Structure 1
Amino acid sequence: MEKFDFEIVEIPSYKAVGLKWEGSYNEIPELKRIIHHMSQRVNELEGALHPKIQLGLSYHVRPDGFLHYSAYEVCEDQAIPEDMEEITIPAMSYLITHHKKGDDIGHTYHRIYQWFKESEYQPYSEPNVEYFDDLPIKHERYPSDRDLKDPHFDILIPVLKK
């Protein structure tokens, strides 16, 4: 089996502000426009803590798609621009791995699925929320210098011990 590079890390609670999208997999071209639009608006967030790292926070709460926040981590007193939303991410443990430029994103996620099958961890899901994916919550961190057609980025999956 190929080597899978990952870490389990503890990340404290944080706030993010950005654009919210919910849609089907068929509507992903619209999501891509929203992600691009948010990257153009980071300057509206004076309290952005890492303005060169855009967050993609996906929650698979629909059978045909997902809920997504395209956002930036912000300081506690960040004002929320009109049409944007604030989301608070609780402190959690995460599997973190890096998707490399040139690799197939589906293959990267397949390796994550395989790792969960063989590990002492399971993906975290919020109590009393119905999810429609084996990886119910996916957080991604995109550097601002990524190639949109062949990106490199970090993948963070919240985890619990089995």
Structure 2
Amino acid sequence: MDIQVVERDEIKVVGISWNGSYSQASSIPKLFKVMETRLDEVAHQTEEPVLIAPFHSRETEITYYVTTPVNKIDQIPEGMVGFTIPGKNYVVTSYKGRPEEVENTYLKIFDWMKEYGYEQDHQALGLEIFPKKQIETNASEELYFDIFLPIKSYKE
């Protein structure tokens, strides 16, 4: 597994949100289907062919968004949210595999961060970035996306 540290510029996004306990997380894949049917409602979409899923995980619950990147946020469709994700340093890797194996990939990233002296920034949003061309594949038995975990400390 290839893991590296990258710096991302700020991203403006518009999309739908969900909040619940980890035991309810099995409903998250349905969010992608809902967002896909509503993409035409979002104004000012960028040319970047991705869906961005920012998330904030806490001890007992998670807030998960399925969004599309936009050039500006001025028209937010009913039932959606729009916000800017600040520029940040992230530990990043790609995931390809079965949905039940995703957690193991996150554990490997946490181990790598500890080994190389990086600390996760729990105040910032993590990102899962899904190429739009992979959404149909992701709806089946195999997932493909990039994982970005925000970091506080940046090892020189």
TM-score by length of 2: 0.84
What residue in structure 1 maps to residue 30 of structure 2? 33
Distance across 2 between alignment mates of 1:46 and 1:86: 11
The 2-side partners of 1:29 and 1:118 are apart by 31
Closer, same or farther: CA 29–14 of 1 in aligned 2, 3 Å: same
Q: How far off is 1:30 after superposition?
A: 3.1
Contact kept? 2:13, 2:73, Cα under 8 Å: no
1:127-142, aligned counterparts within 5 Å?
137-142=125-130
Corresponding residue number in structure 2 for 1:57: 54
**Equivalent of residue 150 in structure 2, options 149, 154, 158:** 158
- Amino acid across the alignment from 2:143: P
Q: CA deviation at 1:96?
A: 1.2
- Alpha-carbon RMSD across the aligned residues, in angstroms, is 2.1
What residue number does 1:91 align with? 87
Runs in 1 of length 4+ with deviation above 6 angstroms?
A: none
Tell me, yes or no, if structure 1 residue 22 matches structure 2 residue 19. Answer: yes
Unmatched tracts of structure 1, length 5 or more: 127-135
Unmatched tracts of structure 2, length 5 or more: none
Provide the secondary structure at the position in 2 that maps to 1:121.
coil
- Number of aligned residue pairs: give it: 149
- Distance in 2, matches of 1:142 and 1:50, equals 14
Structure having the larger proportion of residues in helix: 2
Q: How does 1:48-127 map to 2 (within 5 A)?
A: 48-50=45-47, 52-61=49-58, 63-101=59-97, 104-126=101-123
Residues 142-151 or 84-93, more deviating: 142-151
1:82 to partner: Cα distance: 1.0
Q: How big is the shift at 1:116?
A: 1.3
CA offsets, 1:92-129, max 9 Å, x none? 00111100235821221121011011012111122xxx
Q: Is the 8 A contact 1:60 1:67 kept in 2?
A: yes
Q: Distance in 1 between matches of 2:73 and 2:54?
A: 21
